[in-house]
Amino acid sequence: MSQSILNVKLNALFLGFALSLVGLGVTTPMAAAADKKGPEISRVIAKEMTAAQKDLQSGQWADALKNLDAAAEKSPLTPFDKKTIYDFKAFANIKLNRLKDAEENYEQALATGQYTPEEAAKTKRTLFRLAAGNQQYAKAVDFGKEVSDAGDANGDDLLVMAQIYYLQKDCKNSGIWADKAIAYAKKAGEAPKETLYQFKLQCASDSQDNAAMATDLVDLIKLTNKTNYWNTLLRIERQDERDDHNLLMIYRIMYDTNSMTAGSDYMEMAQLLGDAALPGEAEAILEHGVSAGLFTDPKDKDRSARLIAALKTRADADKKGQPEFDKEASKNPAGELDVKLGEVYYGAGDYQNAVTAINRGLQKGQIKHLDEAYVYLGRSQAALKDNADAKKAFAGLKTVPNISPRILMLWELYAEKLGS
């Protein structure tokens, strides 16, 4: 999986965080000064500082910097004078989008030791964001750890830490901080950021760890239900599957989540359905792939056309025989024929009769493939927009003896996201 899995522009994201002043303690210096009781600036720079304050109030950032530079040339300056000058300059430079200068200014102000503990904490958090935005990752990590250890980091701060480590190809620490951000969001009753799971997914992909990828993809599906995540997860789960019964189950989920994107998938699914004596559904599946323009090679087009024709002949025969099949199934004390009838109805798009037949079969019992009964019942109810009953049907899969844990997990995930 390539770097493109991350649907974010990483540097742009950092810059956005650096420029986001809300909650970072980057307030208008005049407001902070007005509320402060303590040292005052020296008279030696009173004129320049008064002018700088007026410039800042009116948005004349460049003029404010000129007055602040003039104040910095005065002598003697107290530590508080220097802290105030640097603090004001940092604010003006942020407004001018001169983030490296602002970072230097805040570091100079912090070094004076004149910030109150609360001010120092806010300034360190601001420096963390600025260093990250300026791609000074080592410095950002140091500030980020300090902010986190002090309990001042929020979810976005933790995300930035995860991103810094990710950019440095330190997947272990990126995962640690991503998990911290995810836990923070959940504790706050919020949905975690998709990007956090993307970092973990990309790292797992880079190390070719399919098990970790599958875990991260499940989390991403639960969060977003996006078809590209379904597609990737189902392709991973399909890789080592050698049982046709389970393979067809995976294809059903792939089709129902609209995550089937290759003509070869439609072809293989149609062939498996045909082998399972479900030509009507197989024909509909393959025609969908053709209408989606997934068969571009002349040989593939010809092959799909020939297969559709053969499936149609069989499907038409099944349709003609449905009344007799229904009578036979109704009289049979076992439920196997009722379930098969329901599957045929499903393939023909007759979902209500599919539900009736399969429910009748489940009441009778003696069903060879109980997992297919619950799956087709759930799929039929989902097609009828009866998501509540569909979820109940899929929940029945837990009672099926010897069902593949992989298949059970996938259908449970599908059921969880029904209607979302």
pLDDT per position as a tens digit, 157-173: 999 999 999 999 999 99
113 domain-assigned: yes
pLDDT at residue 256 above 60?
A: yes
CA 244 from centroid of its chain's CA atoms: 31
359 domain-assigned: no
130 near 102, Cβ under 8 Å? yes
8 domain-assigned: yes
DSSP count for the chain of H helices, then E strands: 23, 0
Average pLDDT over all residues of the chain = 90
354 near 380, Cβ under 8 Å? yes
282-313 residue pLDDT tens: 999 999 999 999 998 999 999 999 999 999 99
pLDDT at residue 189 above 50?
A: yes
**CA–CA dist 306, 300 (Å, integer):** 10
301-349 residue pLDDT tens: 999 999 999 999 999 998 888 888 989 999 999 999 999 999 999 999 9
149 domain-assigned: yes
**CA–CA dist 412, 407 (Å, integer):** 9
Domain interval for residue 8: 3-153
Model confidence at 1, pLDDT cuts 50, 70, 90, reads very low
Please provide residue 408's backbone torsions phi and psi, each rounded to the nearest 5 degrees: -60, -45
pLDDT at residue 2 above 90?
A: no
**CA–CA dist 328, 341 (Å, integer):** 10
How much is the average pLDDT of 196-217?
Answer: 94
Model confidence at 214, pLDDT cuts 50, 70, 90, reads very high
How would you write 105-139 as a 3-class SS string?
Answer: HHHHHHHCCCCCHHHHHHHHHHHHHHHHHCCCHHH
Other beta carbons less than 10 A from residue 331's beta carbon? 8
**CA–CA dist 284, 267 (Å, integer):** 11
CA 390 from centroid of its chain's CA atoms: 25
**CA–CA dist 285, 312 (Å, integer):** 12
pLDDT for position 15: 44
Other beta carbons less than 10 A from residue 75's beta carbon? 8
**CA–CA dist 205, 235 (Å, integer):** 13
233 domain-assigned: no
78 domain-assigned: yes
**CA–CA dist 27, 39 (Å, integer):** 19
132 near 164, Cβ under 8 Å? yes
120 near 110, Cβ under 8 Å? yes
105 domain-assigned: yes
Q: Which two tokens stand for residue 41?
A: 């600036």
pLDDT for position 7: 43
**CA–CA dist 145, 373 (Å, integer):** 54
Distances (CA, A) of 100 to 147, 158, 303, 380: 20, 22, 62, 60
One-letter amino acid at 68 equals: L
pLDDT for position 338: 94
pLDDT at residue 222 above 80?
A: yes
pLDDT at residue 16 above 60?
A: no
355-373 residue pLDDT tens: 999 999 999 999 999 999 9
The total number of structural domains in the chain stands at: 1
45 near 81, Cβ under 8 Å? yes
107 near 92, Cβ under 8 Å? no
pLDDT for position 200: 94
Residue labelled with tokens 């927009």: 385
307 domain-assigned: no
Report the CATH number that the domain containing residue 68 is assigned in CATH: 1.25.40.10
pTM confidence score: 0.83
Q: How many residues are there in the chain?
A: 420
